[in-house]
């Protein structure tokens, strides 16, 4: 029973990681964290938030039928899975606000193709 539950949990967590494309559409931020802030973030905050993301995903799976009946499944997903995921993987190292650094965001410009006139 536990082995089957673990397999389902792994599959659902993988699906959540692949289905939540928030990393590409994150807000840009302008923050200059210090070396101490980056070190503390890498050693303490990120591992704790990774565990929080996994535990939040498990709690969301368990509580999703009740949240669906109550009509707040979106809010429960956001609080239990999305916010910890964003804090773990989208926030720049040492920053206090979720989002990507402005310098790492690439803007894509769609320019129309130049067509050669017919001869």
- The 10s digit of each residue's pLDDT in 63-79 is 999 999 999 999 999 99
3-state helix, strand, coil in the chain (%, to 5): 65, 5, 30
Q: What is the pLDDT of residue 59?
A: 95
Phi, psi angles (nearest 5°) of residue 57: -65, -40
* Segment (H or E) for 28: strand 28-29
Q: In this predicted model, which residue has the larger pLDDT, 73 or 4? A: 73
Q: What is the pLDDT of residue 114?
A: 67
How far apart are the C-alpha atoms of 83 and 78, rounded to whole Å? 6
Q: What is this structure's pTM? A: 0.58
Q: What is the pLDDT of residue 33?
A: 84
Ordered by start, the domain boundaries in the chain are 45-94
Residue 5 — pLDDT band, cuts 50, 70, 90? confident
Residue 93 — pLDDT band, cuts 50, 70, 90? confident
Mean pLDDT of the region 3-14? 74
How far apart are the C-alpha atoms of 101 and 68, rounded to whole Å? 35
């Amino acid at each position: 029973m536990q082995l089957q539950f673990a397999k389902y949990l792994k599959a659902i967590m993988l699906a959540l990681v692949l289905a939540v494309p928030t990393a590409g559409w994150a807000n840009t931020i302008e923050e200059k964290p210090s070396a101490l802030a980056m070190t503390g973030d890498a050693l303490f905050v990120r591992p704790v938030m990774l565990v929080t993301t996994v535990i939040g995903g498990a709690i969301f799976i368990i509580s999703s039928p009740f949240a669906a009946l109550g009509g707040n499944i979106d809010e429960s997903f956001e609080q239990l899975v999305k916010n910890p995921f964003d804090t773990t993987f989208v926030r720049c190292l040492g920053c206090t606000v979720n989002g990507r650094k402005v310098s790492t965001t690439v803007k894509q410009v769609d320019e129309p193709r130049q067509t050669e006139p017919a001869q």
